[in-house]
């Protein structure tokens, strides 16, 4: 066991853990965060994705001792009681079906939008390629990412369409 200090969602934590423990287990079991999920345990599906220093990282295969930098989980995206534009877009586009992959989808999309604020459809598909969804909600995910990108560019956090995708008269 070793003392390891890490910053998660802006809060420092010092834990006495086995350094080889996957970050996912620390986040869920020791810190009680429910956003990152155990999917495949091999870093293949993306359900466990977190953001470290701006990059989408698979936490199920990352030893806690090798984390260098701030960790952001799904819980860390909202602030002051307001959803992040991506979270709001997910609701507006009614993306979740079973919901299991949504953490990985949102966190991967966040890392992409931070680098490419106005992505093309091809850029979205390429960035999201390794984040799997058994419900096949990929078209809704793409629509939500485009909506969030526009909202972020416009400086909005409020949707311009209600849930269900119907336009609102201005």
Is it the case that residue 30 has pLDDT exceeding 70? yes
Q: Is 170 a member of any domain?
A: no
More confident residue, 166 or 139: 139
On whether residue 90 sits in a domain, the answer given is yes
Q: Is 157 exposed, middle or buried (0-12, 13-18, 19+ CB in 10 A)?
A: middle
Q: Is 120 helix (H, G, I), strand (E, B) or coil?
A: coil
Looking at every residue in the chain, the average pLDDT score rounds to 90
Residue 167 included in any domain:
no
Report the CATH number that the domain containing residue 42 is assigned in CATH. Answer: 3.10.20.30
Model pLDDT, residue 156: 61
Mind listing the pLDDT tens digit for each residue in 1-12? Answer: 899 999 999 999
Q: What confidence tens digit (pLDDT) does each residue in 48-77 have?
A: 999 999 999 999 999 999 998 899 999 999
C-alpha span between 156 and 159 (Å, rounded): 8
Give dist(CA 4, CA 18) in Å, integer: 9
| CB environment 2-37: b (16+ within 10 A), e (fewer) | eebebebbeeeeeeebeeebbbbbbbbeebebebbb
pLDDT for the residue 167: 39
Residue 165 lies inside a defined structural domain of this protein: no
138 falls within a domain: yes
Parent domain of 109:
85-154
Query: What is the Cα–Cα distance from 87 to 67, expressed in whole angstroms?
Result: 26
Does any domain span residue 162?
no
DSSP-H helix ranges across 13-120: 23-25, 85-92, 102-115
Q: Is the pLDDT of residue 113 over 60?
A: yes
What beta strand segments (E) does the chain contain? 2-8, 11-17, 49-52, 55-58, 71-72
Q: What is the pTM of this model?
A: 0.87
Give the CATH number for residue 109: 1.10.150.120
Residue 73 near residue 9, CB atoms below 8 Å:
yes
- Say how far apart CA 129 and CA 45 lie, in whole Å: 10
Domain count for the chain, please give it: 2
**Residues 105 and 145 placed together within one structural domain of the fold:** yes
What are 98's two structure tokens?
């079973």
């Amino acid at each position: 066991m070793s003392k390891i200090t890490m910053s998660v969602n802006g809060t420092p934590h010092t834990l006495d853990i086995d350094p080889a423990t996957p970050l996912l287990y620390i986040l869920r079991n020791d810190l009680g965060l429910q956003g990152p999920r155990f999917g495949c345990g091999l870093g293949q599906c993306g359900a466990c994705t977190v953001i470290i220093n701006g990059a989408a990282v698979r936490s199920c295969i990352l030893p806690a001792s090798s984390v260098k930098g701030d960790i952001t989980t799904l819980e860390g995206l909202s602030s002051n009681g307001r959803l992040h534009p991506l979270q709001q877009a997910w609701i507006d586009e009614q993306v979740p079906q079973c919901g299991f992959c949504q953490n990985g989808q949102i966190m991967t999309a966040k890392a992409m939008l931070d680098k490419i604020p106005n992505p093309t459809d091809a850029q979205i598909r390429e960035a999201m390629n390794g984040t799997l969804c058994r419900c096949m909600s990929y078209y809704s995910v793409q629509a939500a990412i485009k909506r969030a990108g526009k909202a972020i560019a416009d400086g909005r956090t409020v949707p311009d369409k209600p849930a269900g995708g119907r336009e609102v008269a201005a």
